[in-house]
Structure 1
Amino acid sequence: MFKVGDHVVYPYHGAGTIQDIEEKDILGEKINYFIVFFPLNHVTLMLPENRVQDSGLRKIIETTKIEELATALKTVEEPASKKEAARPYSKENETLLKTGCIMDAASVIANLTSKEGERTNGLHMEDRKNMDRAKQFIASELMLVNDYSEEEAYDFIMKNSQGA
């Protein structure tokens, strides 16, 4: 399972570090809680051990996956049809972000960057929110994987996405 000091990713929240494991007595039942601190947004969460598997909590990616991430930030998934291309992707993007997979977040950025380049008046508000969430999610993980500063993490994203 996980231990104190592990760098982990919690879907839709980003990457953080397990700071402690506390045992709590809840209605006579002893439950271990993982105390996870997320440095990018300065949030601490308590996750019950018995729900960790269902929560999607995972260890951060290996440094060997950074090149794959850079490629994913550039790879746009083409819609199967023009009808599909015309419809909004905000729900699909939200679903991808909730998976907690860094490659899914990279896909959101690549697709929205491409969409933004095709539009004269920029992205819709929901798409902009999803783009920001995806960037924050990836930046938080890069900060822990490569010991990047927040600025270096966002620079990596910008440099490797199509919009650079």
Structure 2
Amino acid sequence: MFKVGDHVVYPYHGAGTIQDIEEKDILGEKLNYFVVFFPLNHVTLMLPENRVKTSGLRKIIQPKQIDELATALKPTESSTSKKDAARPYSKENETLLKSGDIMDAAMVISNLTSKEGERTNGLHMEDRKNLDRAKQFIVSELMLVNDLSEEEAYQFITDNSKGA
């Protein structure tokens, strides 16, 4: 399973490090809790060991997957009609972000970057929020995978999400 020092990703929170495994007595039942610190947003989470499998907690991607991530960030060719381009896809994007998969977050960035380029007045508020969440999610993981600064990780996203 996981051990202290492992870099992990928790869906919708991003990447962090397991700092400790604590045993707690809750209502007479002893449970082990993973204590995970998320450096980008300075949050500490305690996750019960018996909920790890269903929580979506996973190890961060391997450095060799960075090229795949860069490709996934590229804007997609859009085939949406003008009517569809105006419709916010916040529910679909939120579902992708909640999956905890870095490639799903890259898809959100790719789709919204393409959509942003098509619209003269920018993205809807929910789309902007989802774009920011997706970027933050990926940045948190890139910081731990490649030992990048926050600025370098954001620059990686910017460089790879530009149109061809």
The residue matched to 1:30 in structure 2 has which SS?
strand
Name the residue aligned to 1:39: 39
Shift of 1:76: 2.0
CA RMSD of the aligned region, Å?
Answer: 1.6
Alignment of 1:1-164 (within 5 A): 1-76=1-76, 78=78, 82=81, 87-162=87-162
| TM-score of the two chains, using structure 1 as the length reference | 0.94
Structure 2 CA distance for partners of 1:137 and 1:77, relative to 1, 3 Å: farther
Shift of 1:87: 3.5
Q: Deviations over 1:30-50 (max 9, x none)?
A: 100000000000000000000
Unpaired runs of 5+ in structure 1?
none
Unpaired runs of 5+ in structure 2?
none
Paired amino acid for 1:15: A
Q: Deviations over 1:118-156 (max 9, x none)?
A: 001100000000000000000000000000000000000
Paired amino acid for 1:31: L
| TM-score of the two chains, using structure 2 as the length reference | 0.94
